[in-house]
Amino acid sequence: MASRRDQIKMTDDEVSSFLEQEKTVICATNGVSGWPHLMPLWFVMRPTGPEGAAEMWAWTFAKSQKTKNLERDPRASLQVEAGAEYQELRGVMFETNVVIHREIDDVLPLGMEIFERYTPGLADGLSDEVKEMIRGQAAKRVAFQFVEQRRVTWDHRKLGGVY
C-alpha cells in the first residue's frame, strides 16, 4: 500500500499546471544573522530542455536583501502553495541553487516576460510606454535563475476527504 506521502505527490504535469495558475512564490534565503529571510516574488517558468522541463526565474532589485543574501550563499528554498483548508492544500517546495544574472541582455527580457504574465488584457502585447518603464527598471535589477536540486509536492485533494 502506498504511503500517505506517496498518495499526495504531484506528477510533473500537475506541478507545471499548478505553477502556471499560481502567481507568487515565497523565496527563502539565508540571512546575514542566520535567520531565514522570506520574501514573495513574481516568477515565470522557462523551458530548460527538449523534454519540456522548466526552471523558475524571477527578478528583484540588485541592492535588495535577497540579492545580498544570495551573493553570500547561492542556496534558496522556494514554496508555492494554494488552498485554505487542509483538504484543499497543495503546493511545491524547491531546494535550489541560484544563478544571479546581472547583464541587461538577461534581465530585460525577463522583465518583459514577467510583465506579460502579470498584466491582464495584453492581447496586443506590451505598450511602448510599459516597455520603456521595464527598460528603466531592468537597469536596477538582477535576474534569478533557480536551478532545482530537489522538490517536494503535496496535493491533499487526492486524499478525497479521508485522512
* Tens-digit pLDDT profile for residues 13-56: 999 999 999 999 999 999 999 999 999 999 999 988 666 678 99
Instruction: Give the C-alpha separation, 74 to 67, whole Å.
Output: 9
Query: Do 107 and 141 meet the contact criterion of CB atoms below 8 Å apart?
Result: yes
The class that CATH gives domain 4-159 is: mainly beta
Q: In the chain, where are the structural domains located?
A: 4-159
DSSP SS3 for 30: strand
Residue-wise pLDDT tens digits, 126-155: 778 888 889 999 999 999 999 999 999 999
In angstroms, rounded to a whole number, what is the distance separating the alpha carbons of residues 57 and 163? 35
pTM above 0.85, yes or no: yes
Backbone angles phi, psi at 37, to 5 degrees: -115, 110
Q: At what angle do helices 128-138 and 104-118 cross, to 10 degrees?
A: 130
Contact between 29 and 36 under an 8 Å Cβ cutoff? The reply is: yes
98-109: per-residue pLDDT in tens? 999 999 999 999
What is the Cα–Cα distance from 148 to 16, expressed in whole angstroms?
A: 14
Q: Which backbone phi and psi does 8 adopt, to 5 degrees?
A: -100, 0
CB atoms within 10 A of CB 146: 23
Contact criterion met (CB below 8 Å) for 93 and 78: yes
How sure is the predictor about 161, in pLDDT bands with cuts at 50, 70 and 90? low
Task: Tell me the mean pLDDT in the region 71-79.
Answer: 98
What's the CA gap between 155 and 82, in Å, rounded? 9
